[in-house]
Structure 1
Amino acid sequence: MLALKAENISKQYRLGQVGTGTLSHDLNRFWHKVRGKEDPYLKIGEANDRSTKGLSDYVWSLQDINFEIEQGDAVGIIGRNGAGKSTLLKLLSKVTKPTTGKIYTNGRIASLLEVGTGFHPEMTGRENVFLNGAILGMTRKEITRKFDEIVDFSGVERYIDTPVKRYSSGMYVRLAFAVAAHLESEILIVDEVLAVGDAEFQKKCLGKMGDVTKGEGRTVLFVSHNLAAVRRLCNKGILLKNGKIISTGMMDNVLNRYDLEFASAEKNFIINYPVDESKKMQILNVELKKPYDHNRIFTDDILEFNFDIVSRIPVENAYVTIDLKNNDDDLIYWTSDYTSERFTMAESGKWNLKCILPKNLLTTGSYTVTFAIYSPSNNLVIDHLPKYQIAFEIEEDENSFLQQFGIVRPGKTGIESQWISSKYSS
C-alpha cells in the first residue's frame, strides 16, 4: 500500500525574491494560463549547483522528482548540502507548494523540520505541547491521553510549566521531537533532528523512530548527514544531487552510489605547494592516502600522511608538524616528526616522510589538517601556508561502539583505554 507518491514535482525559486517573481511576472503567468499556454518561466532556470555562479536568476531547487514510498518503509534522504533534501521535505509536509507536479499522500503527516517549529516562546512547555499537537493535527483528547508519555520521553518534566524561552536548545528539541513522534500519524518526517542533543537523546530518537517503523508499521522519512544512523534506521534510500534524484532503492545500494558519486572524488587528498627557493626548508607536497578498500573514512581506519620535503639549508631542531582541527577550529591533535631519522640526521636534501595516525584517534565529525615546519631553538616558523589544508569527514561504522550501544561515540577522541576489573571475594 502506497503511503507517499511524488509525480514530476519541481520547485523553482528566483534569487533575491520572496516567492518566484514580481507582480509583472505573476501577471505574465496568469495571462499565459488563461490562454491555455505553458508558464513561460518554467522554460528557464538552472540546476541548484552552489559551486558555480550561474547566469540565471531562476534556480530549480528540485527538478523532475518521481518516487513511491510504501507504508511501513523507513526512507533515508541523503546528499550534499544544497542537494534539495530540506526543500523536498517541506513539499511533502505541505509547508510550501511545488512549482510543478503533484504529491499524493495516504494518511496523516507529522513533521519535525526545525527545532521547536510552532512553539511560542512565552508559553510554558505544557501549553506548547497542546499548541504544537494541535498544529500537527492532534485532538485535545488525544494530546491529554498521550501527555504523560510525551513529557516522560522528552525528559523535561521538571520544567514543563516553565516558558520555553528559558529552555536550552537541547530541551527545546527534546520536547518538539516528543510531540511529533507521539502523534498517531501514518507518516513521520524528520529533518536532521539528531544534529542537536546529546548521545543519550540521539539513541532515544533512533530507538523511537525504529519503533515507529518496525513496531507500529508507520512510514518515516529521515534526512541526516549521519550516514551510519541512516544505514541503521532505514531500509530504503533516496540520493539527491543538485535538485535531482540520482539513485533510489535499497539503502545499502544508495549509500554505495553515494560513495561513487561523492566520496571517491573527495578522498584523493593531495596538496602541491608552490616552490619557494628562498626558504631554507619547505614542504613540497603532502597526501592523505587511503590504505583501505572503501571510499568513506571510518573511525577504525588508520590515517596515513605522506610528505615530500626539501631541506636546502638544515635548520637546528626544525621539525615538520601536523595540526588537526575540528569544525569549531579546536586543535584536536598535534604531532611532529622529531622522532624520525630525518630530524636526528639533520642533513640537506630531499626527504620522504610518513605519518600514520592510529585507529579510533578521532570520533565522528569533520576535520581540517594543516602542515608546517617549525624550529623551537630559533622560535622560527620556516614554512607555513595555512590556506593549504586537507579537509575530510569521519564516520562511525557498524563495528565497535556503534554496534554495541547504538550511538556514535561521544567526545573528540576515540582511542581505547585499558580497563581491568577484578571481583572482590565475599
Structure 2
Amino acid sequence: MPYSDGDLALRVEGLGKRYRLGEREPYLALRDVISRAVRRPGRRRADPDASFWALRDVSFEVPSGEALAIVGRNGAGKSTLLKILSRITEPTEGQAVVAGRVGALLEVGTGFHPELTGRENVALNGAILGMRRHEIGAKFDDIVDFAGVARFVDTPVKRYSSGMRARLAFAVAAFLDTDILVVDEVLAVGDAEFQKKCLGTMGDAARGGRTVLFVSHNMTAVESLCQRAVWLDGGRVVADGPALEVVGQYLSTSFSQLGEQMWADVGSAPGNDGVRIRRAAVRPESGAPSDPIDVRTPLALEFEYWNLRPGAQLNLSLHVYNAQGVMVFNALPYQEKVWQGRPFPQGLYRDTCHVPGDLLNDGTYRIDLMVVEGNRAIYRHDEILVFEVRDDPGSRDGWFGSWEGAVRPALAWETEQLAGDAALETALD
C-alpha cells in the first residue's frame, strides 16, 4: 500500500547494484572522479559478462515503526541491500531514501577501531551517528551493562573475543538514539542467552516506534519479531507481505527433496583419507526412500561408509534441523551394542538410526552428518539428506490450525473426574 512521505522510514525505488567480477570496489580520490568524467576516445568498453548484479530492480517502502525482515538464501542480495541502506556502498542504479539516523550491525565489530578501547569506540560510533557527547554519556552505562564488558571497557577491542565484540557492537547499535536499527545475521556468533537478549531488545525497539530491518536464517525469530517480510532471490524481490505468509512461501520452495544419495566409486565419494560416504537415505521403516512420510511414520536413517584406516574407532553424529533452522535433535549411537567402543577394521559399514513415529512435526527437515573419532569430527557433510514430513489430518480430530512446536509427540494422557456437581456446589457455598 502507498504511504505518505511523512510516514516513511525507507523508500527503495528500482535499486540495483552491479559488481565487476574479479575486482575490488575501489576507493576513489578526487583525481579518479575527474579522470572518469573525461572519457578518452576509443576506450575499450567493459565486458558485460565480467559483471554481476547483486541486486536488480528492488522496490519497497517501510513505514516508520515497522519491523521488516529480509529473507532469502545465501547470495540472494540481502547483505548488499543493507549496506546500501546503511550508506556503506552506493547503488549502481535506482535510489534508497532513508529518513533519519541508521544504526547498523552488519558484521562483528562494525565500525570499531581495534587499537581504541571499548569506551573510546562507543564515543566514536556515537559521534559518527551525529550524537553529542552528553547524549552518548547518557546511554553509556546501558551499553556497557548490556554488553557485559564493564571489566574490559578500557581495554583495546583488539583484545576482545568475538563474542565480546558482538555484544558491544549490538549494544552500540541498539542503545544509541537512531531512528532505524539494521541488523544482519551477526547474531549467530553469540550464545543462546545473548541471542535472546538481542531479540528482546529489537522487539522493544520496534514496539517503541523505531524501524527495524532484520536479516536472519532463523525463521522462528523472523516470525516472532517482524510483522512483514521481503523475500529476495537472485537479487530480486520474489514476495513482499505478512511475515508468516512470506516465510511459508520461502520455506516451501527453498528446500529440494534429497531422500537418498549414492556414491558407488570410493575414489570419488565424499570424504577424506579416513572415511568416505557410500550412501545416505531416509525411508519409512517398512518402505523405500521414495515412499511418503507423515507425522505417524517410523523412520530409518541409513548411512553406508568406507572406513579406510584400520583400528579407527568411529561414531556417526546426526544433527536434525527443521526448516526454521532449529536443531530438533542430535542422534549418536551410544546405545549400539556391537561396534560401539571397538576398533573398526578397514571395510564397508552401515549405520541405521531408528526414529519412532509420532515424534516429528510436519514440515521440512535437513540432516547434517558428522563422522567422529574420539572427541574430534574427522568429516562433516551438511544437508546430506533433506526430507518432508507430511501432516496426518486423521490425527487432528477436525482441527486444522497450526500445530506449534519443533516436535509433535503422541504422549499418553488421561482425564478423570474427581468430584461431581454436589461437591462443586458444596465448595462454592
Q: Same fold (TM over 0.5)?
A: yes
Q: How does 1:6-405 map to 2 (within 5 A)?
A: 6-19=12-25, 30=37, 45=48, 56-214=49-207, 216-263=208-255, 265=256, 267-274=257-264, 286-287=281-282, 291-292=293-294, 304-305=299-300, 323-324=317-318, 333-335=331-333, 355-356=354-355, 359=359, 367-369=367-369, 390-391=384-385, 399=404
Provide the rounded CA distance (Å) in 2 between the counterparts of 1:354 and 1:269: 15
Report deviation, 1:399.
Answer: 4.8
List per-residue Cα deviations over 1:286-307 (Å, max 9, x = no partner): 23567347xxxxxxx9983366
List per-residue Cα deviations over 1:313-361 (Å, max 9, x = no partner): xxxxxxxx9652699xxxx643399789xxxxxxxxxx9x88326858x
Percent identity between matched residues is: 43
Q: SS of the residue aligned with 1:335?
A: coil
Report deviation, 1:367.
Answer: 4.5
CA contact (8 A) 2:58 2:237 kept: yes
Counterparts in 2 of 1:211 and 1:161: CA distance versus 1, 3 Å: same
Counterparts in 2 of 1:196 and 1:268: CA distance versus 1, 3 Å: same
Provide the rounded CA distance (Å) in 2 between the counterparts of 1:221 and 1:61: 19
Provide the rounded CA distance (Å) in 2 between the counterparts of 1:388 and 1:220: 32
Q: How many residues align?
A: 327
Over the aligned positions, Cα root-mean-square deviation in angstroms equals 4.4
Report deviation, 1:241.
Answer: 0.8
Q: Tell me which amino acid in the other structure corresponds to 1:138.
A: M
Counterparts in 2 of 1:389 and 1:167: CA distance versus 1, 3 Å: closer
Counterparts in 2 of 1:366 and 1:160: CA distance versus 1, 3 Å: farther
Provide the rounded CA distance (Å) in 1 between the counterparts of 2:64 and 2:120: 32
CA contact (8 A) 2:367 2:383 kept: no
Provide the rounded CA distance (Å) in 1 between the counterparts of 2:121 and 2:252: 45
CA contact (8 A) 1:271 1:388 kept: no
Gaps of 5+ in 1: 35-39, 46-55, 277-281, 294-300, 310-320, 341-350, 372-384, 403-426
Q: What is residue 418 of structure 2 aligned with on the other side?
A: none
Q: Tell me which amino acid in the other structure corresponds to 1:369.
A: L
CA contact (8 A) 1:240 1:247 kept: yes
Q: Tell me which amino acid in the other structure corresponds to 1:239.
A: W
Gaps of 5+ in 2: 1-6, 267-276, 284-288, 305-314, 322-329, 339-349, 372-378, 389-401, 408-429
Report deviation, 1:196.
Answer: 1.4
Q: Tell me which amino acid in the other structure corresponds to 2:253.
A: E
Report deviation, 1:274.
Answer: 3.6
Provide the rounded CA distance (Å) in 1 between the counterparts of 2:303 and 2:169: 52
Per the normalisation by structure 2, the TM-score is 0.65
Provide the rounded CA distance (Å) in 2 between the counterparts of 1:91 and 1:219: 16
Q: SS of the residue aligned with 1:19?
A: coil
List per-residue Cα deviations over 1:6-63 (Å, max 9, x = no partner): 10010000111123899xx99998579x9xxxxx87xx85xxxxxxxxxx21110000
Q: Single out whichever of 204-213 and 162-171 deviates more from structure 2.
A: 162-171
Q: Tell me which amino acid in the other structure corresponds to 2:332.
A: W
CA contact (8 A) 1:228 1:398 kept: no
Provide the rounded CA distance (Å) in 2 between the counterparts of 1:98 and 1:30: 18
Per the normalisation by structure 1, the TM-score is 0.65
Report deviation, 1:273.
Answer: 4.8
Provide the rounded CA distance (Å) in 2 between the counterparts of 1:191 and 1:131: 21
CA contact (8 A) 2:368 2:380 kept: no
Counterparts in 2 of 1:400 and 1:308: CA distance versus 1, 3 Å: closer
Counterparts in 2 of 1:272 and 1:366: CA distance versus 1, 3 Å: closer
Counterparts in 2 of 1:322 and 1:201: CA distance versus 1, 3 Å: closer
Counterparts in 2 of 1:389 and 1:2: CA distance versus 1, 3 Å: closer
Counterparts in 2 of 1:357 and 1:157: CA distance versus 1, 3 Å: farther
Report deviation, 1:257.
Answer: 1.1
